């Protein structure tokens, strides 16, 4: 079946479709929920002793005092599995933050104390160092008080810590380990009071670890964007084609993120990997289009864009079939990561078809035809 040449008439109207879809997708982006890796929390996986619906489990959790939980149920062979995702309590978030701050401050304080000893041994001036050390020590005292209060709340009994700041670190570490274990036992105890199960697994991600994930991801995305911009500009050395390629890749990402918000797919590390994979595929089709027009189609940009579209859509449908297969595998095996990756990439691939051949192609055809008109004007003069 031969594809119709969509560029034969007033091709500029084609750009309205991707522009409208980008605006719609932008609305749904605001509805994306962060996954466990980015917001921190607890993931409990239960092997239930009988089949239960998500609503039934939610009702049981409310009875046990857990009201805000994400629930996912599925069958794995003959087993009935329930995944329960719970956000950290306010006290646990504050304790983890104070604990991280304490460790960082304590390490700085120890280094400052060592620096003072070295300077005194060499008859150096230590006034500034001692002032900094005193400020750090005061901050450690304040953190000790905060950790004691929060630990007592989470343990349900008074907690104790030494008043000697210099000997405080091992006690604080031990206290945090004890509180974490108690926090875990409290959650499991609540779940066990209303749900019966054969076995369980418990995964806890602290907020500070989530911040590390976010920081790393920001760097990865920044580096990927810079490399893409540099590579595209080096290949074409022209602002318009380079901008068109980058606009296409950006639209694909917007479409994928919009689908995540629409279908309630959380932002996880797997989702970030899917988006990076999608950017690579988008650059591939956009560069295919741009090279075909600039290298082979200066005399007939519409025809070159049409020929490139036939090749590009074949590539896209091949990739769509591959990720449809991954989606089916995810549905059969109930592997959430397979489902998320396939859904995000499929949405992005459909968006890539729309953005590349209805927006990028329009930009490139108009650019080449505009250059041709200007050249003819110069020749006439």
| DSSP line for 189-227 | HHHHHH--EEEEEEEEE-HHHHHHHHHHHHHHHHHHHHH
pLDDT tens-place string over residues 191-237: 999 999 999 999 888 766 666 666 777 787 778 778 877 877 787 77
Q: What is the mean pLDDT of residues 88-115?
A: 90
Spatial neighbors of 65 by CB under 8 A, at least 6 apart, are 190
* Residue 327: other Cβ atoms inside 10 A: 18
Residue 41 backbone class (left: φ over 0; alpha: ψ -120 to 50; beta: rest): left
pLDDT tens-place string over residues 175-192: 999 999 999 999 999 999
* Cβ 184 vs Cβ 204: under 8 Å: yes
* Residue 186: other Cβ atoms inside 10 A: 15
> What per-residue confidence (pLDDT) applies to 342?
93
Positive/negative CA dihedral, 4, 10, 11, 13: negative
* Cβ 112 vs Cβ 223: under 8 Å: no
The domain over range 11-36+207-380 is classified in CATH as 1.20.1640.10 = yes
> What per-residue confidence (pLDDT) applies to 276?
86
**Spatial separation of the C-alpha atoms in residues 139 and 126, rounded to whole Å:** 20
* Cβ 172 vs Cβ 98: under 8 Å: no
Q: Would you place residue 380 in the very low, low, confident or very high pLDDT band (cuts 50, 70, 90)?
A: very low
> What per-residue confidence (pLDDT) applies to 89?
85
**Total number of residues shown for the chain:** 381
**Picking from 148-152, 226-230, 327-331, which range would have the lowest pLDDT averaged per residue?**
226-230
Q: Beta strand 197-205 with 69-76: parallel, antiparallel or unpaired? A: unpaired
The dihedrals phi and psi of 168, each to the nearest 5 degrees, come to -85, -30
What residue ranges do the domains of the chain occupy? 11-36+207-380, 41-88+189-205, 97-175
**Helix and strand counts by DSSP (H, E) for the chain:** 12, 4
From residue 367, alpha-carbon distances to 238, 243, 299, 362 in Å are: 11, 12, 12, 8
**Spatial separation of the C-alpha atoms in residues 317 and 291, rounded to whole Å:** 21
Scored b (16 or more CB within 10 A) or e, 259-277 reads bbbbeebbbbebbbbbbeb
Burial of 206 (0-12, 13-18, 19+ CB in 10 A): buried
> What per-residue confidence (pLDDT) applies to 27?
94
**Spatial separation of the C-alpha atoms in residues 140 and 149, rounded to whole Å:** 14
The domain over range 41-88+189-205 is classified in CATH as 3.30.70 = yes
Q: Would you place residue 379 in the very low, low, confident or very high pLDDT band (cuts 50, 70, 90)?
A: very low
Q: What share of the chain is helix, strand, coil (3-state, %, to 5)?
A: 75, 10, 15
From residue 191, alpha-carbon distances to 116, 178, 185 in Å are: 52, 20, 10
CA 333, chain centre distance (Å): 24
pLDDT tens-place string over residues 102-136: 999 999 999 998 888 888 777 767 788 888 889 99
CA-angle at 336, arms to 282 and 194, nearest 5° = 150
Q: Is 381 a residue whose pLDDT tops 50?
A: no
> What per-residue confidence (pLDDT) applies to 371?
80
Domain 11-36+207-380 and domain 41-88+189-205 have a common topology: no
Q: Three-class SS of residue 299? A: coil
């Amino acid at each position: 079946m031969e594809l119709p040449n969509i560029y034969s008439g007033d091709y500029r109207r084609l750009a309205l479709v991707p522009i409208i879809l980008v605006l719609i997708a932008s609305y749904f982006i605001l509805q994306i929920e962060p996954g466990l890796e980015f917001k921190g929390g607890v993931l409990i996986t239960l092997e239930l002793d009988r089949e239960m619906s998500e609503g039934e489990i939610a009702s049981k959790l409310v009875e046990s005092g857990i009201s805000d939980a994400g629930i996912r149920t599925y069958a794995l062979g003959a087993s009935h599995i329930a995944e329960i995702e719970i956000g950290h309590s306010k006290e646990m978030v504050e304790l983890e933050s104070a604990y991280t701050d304490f460790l960082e401050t304590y390490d700085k304080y120890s280094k400052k104390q060592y620096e003072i000893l070295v300077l005194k041994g060499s008859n150096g001036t230590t006034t500034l160092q001692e002032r900094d050390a005193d400020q750090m020590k005061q901050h450690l005292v304040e953190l000790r008080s905060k950790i004691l209060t929060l630990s007592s709340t989470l343990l349900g009994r008074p907690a104790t810590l030494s008043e000697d700041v210099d000997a405080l670190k091992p006690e604080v570490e031990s206290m945090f380990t004890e509180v974490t274990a108690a926090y875990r036992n409290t959650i499991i105890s609540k779940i066990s009071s209303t749900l019966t199960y054969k076995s369980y697994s418990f995964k806890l991600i602290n907020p500070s670890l989530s911040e590390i994930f976010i920081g790393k991801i920001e760097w990865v995305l920044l580096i990927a964007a810079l490399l893409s911009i540099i590579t595209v500009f080096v290949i074409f050395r022209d602002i318009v084609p380079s901008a068109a390629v980058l606009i296409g890749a950006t639209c694909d990402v917007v479409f994928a993120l919009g689908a995540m918000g629409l279908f309630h797919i959380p932002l996880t590390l797997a989702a970030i990997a899917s988006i990076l994979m999608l950017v690579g595929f988008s650059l591939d089709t956009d560069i295919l289009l741009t090279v075909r027009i600039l290298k082979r189609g200066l005399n007939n940009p519409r025809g070159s864009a049409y020929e490139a579209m036939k090749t590009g859509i074949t590539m896209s449908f091949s990739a769509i079939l591959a990720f449809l297969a991954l989606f089916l595998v995810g549905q059969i095996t109930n592997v959430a990561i397979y489902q998320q990756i396939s859904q995000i990439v499929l949405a992005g691939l459909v968006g890539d078809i729309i953005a590349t051949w209805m927006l990028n192609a329009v930009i490139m055809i108009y650019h080449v035809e505009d250059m041709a008109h200007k050249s003819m004007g110069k020749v006439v003069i």
